[in-house]
Structure 1
Amino acid sequence: MTVIRVGTRASALALAQTQTIVNRIAASAGVEVEIVRVTTHGDTSTEPLSSLGGTGVFASALREALLNDECDVIVHSFKDLPTEAHPGLRIGATPKRADARDVLCARAGYTLDTLPEGARVGTGSPRRVAQLLERRPDLTIVDIRGNIDTRVGRVAEGDLDAVVLAAAGLGRLGRLDAVATDFLDLSAWPTAPGQGALAIEVRDGKPDRLLGVALAAMNHASTQATTTAERTVLARLEAGCAAPIGATAVVDDGLLFLTATVYSPDGSRKVTSSHAATPDSHSALHLTEAALDVAERVSIDLLAGGAAEFAPLKVTE
């Protein structure tokens, strides 16, 4: 393999995060790496993400390009990737996670607690809608689409008082310090399963030797485990993009901790569960085993707590 082709969405954020992967592949494999830009349905549609089917609208075209041998690997934001495996493909590497928090970007330096009563806050995420209404039921929530510049621009223009965005995306674009006014702590404001992490997807089978070396060098065992835990809860509940669910997993002091919360769409109800497991070692295999264990226990708790009664979940057996 003399050239490794990396497929990505063509948005500024996707290209920025893909460039970091390109640089790492090039450094590890020692070969030329090129970016293949792919336009997805999620990029061209102006419909709300939840009505488009949510999770997966950004992934399908990338996966088709990979299966059609138009590229050798594809780069996803992990939170945009469906939890079910795609036939013929697998996750080849999970690089070290960036900041998983959400941030408020508000006019006049407002925080979530100091926004004026009735302030207009933009988001396209049902989870963020529920969390905003739980914390500030007086707010006016505005459904929005568009890239980061478009969303932040609506605040600058005065159309919105604030928007809620992912810290990782702003950081990858070098905008975090310029626009963020309030960092929302994960303990009180869990974010989307996999948020802040990237997933490198490849075709099934043994990759080319140089690509295999690059994938192994990029994979971060703790990130692989924490995203597995969070996304396994999502899969167990079949929550997808339409259900307001947040999950946070961390590896700390020899333990893998997982907390997940399911909200009603209007933020009036929620159920939370937390569990921990002790991996036999910090190998990828043992961390993954611990992740699956805590995810199952958390999922059982959420269902026992009535999550399926007030949230749009389709529960798996």
Structure 2
Amino acid sequence: MKAAVVHEWGQQPAYTDFPDPQPTDGTEVATVEASALTNLTRAVISGKHYSSKEISLPAIAGVDGVARLANGKRVYSGSLAPYGMMAERTVVYPAGAVEVPEHVDSVTAAAIPNPGISAWLALSHGAAVQPGQHVLVLGATGVTGSLAVQLAKSVFGAGHVTVAGRNAERLDWLRTVGADDVITLGSDDLTESITARHAAHPFDAVLDYLWGSPAEQTLNALAASHPSAHFHATRFVQIGAMTGKTISVNASTLRSTGITLSGVGIGSVPPEALMQARAEALPKLFAMVDGGDLQLQTLARPLADIETVWAAKEPSGVRVVVTPQ
């Protein structure tokens, strides 16, 4: 069969032949319909992800996706190494797969789970957002950030959602799906914008998909605009690092305010919380997409073009999905 095959860590996959998968106890060979090109898939293929060392090369890229079982049922499933999902066929555990609703297309169904569950965990486990609370999303124009904005309002009942990002078109669109207020990075003064908003209506939670300078400015603004005499708990949750890997934080920022700083990722969330989020979130996310209550832009690209697709820069806020046909 044809597949996106990795022969060396850190090298992009090649479109080439790979032996057909063979089922083992509890698994079934399935026909792949779509697999999203996520940051996680890229990280695994880089060889730097913790799970990379558990995979023997050559192997197929694609950590998850949508496949059709022999009985015709479409399911979302994780991959079982070395058979990643960027191939014509793969093996899955049917018992652990989630059925895809009839009216949700395979490309969308493959694109939603990774950013959707991440956003869900950030809101539920990391930020513990409660109905009526004030939420700030840094880097809201990206794929996961935009889903977090939508879920903050529609599922977690946030009373006010402020978003910050660079893409003006995406920021305008976010206003239509849950954002109440917009900060344009590179145009508005981020420090002044957050200082004023936090003083008037303190943020209860900050979801940060940027880190670097925007995160540093935000933490300083939160500390400066709310005197220690007026305690307010603000949960700052770090999720992505699109603008830098490190920041400088004044010690007094954490001593003199109610800010708590934490992160959400595979290593920082208890396994039981991950399993619970997957069980609760996936059916809900699929149902919301089916009902038109959750939006995600996708771009389907053929498996045969994987080398070009892998090297290309994804459009802002769009999830690229690889399909065998």
Q: Same fold judged by TM-score > 0.5?
A: no
Structure of larger gyration radius: 2
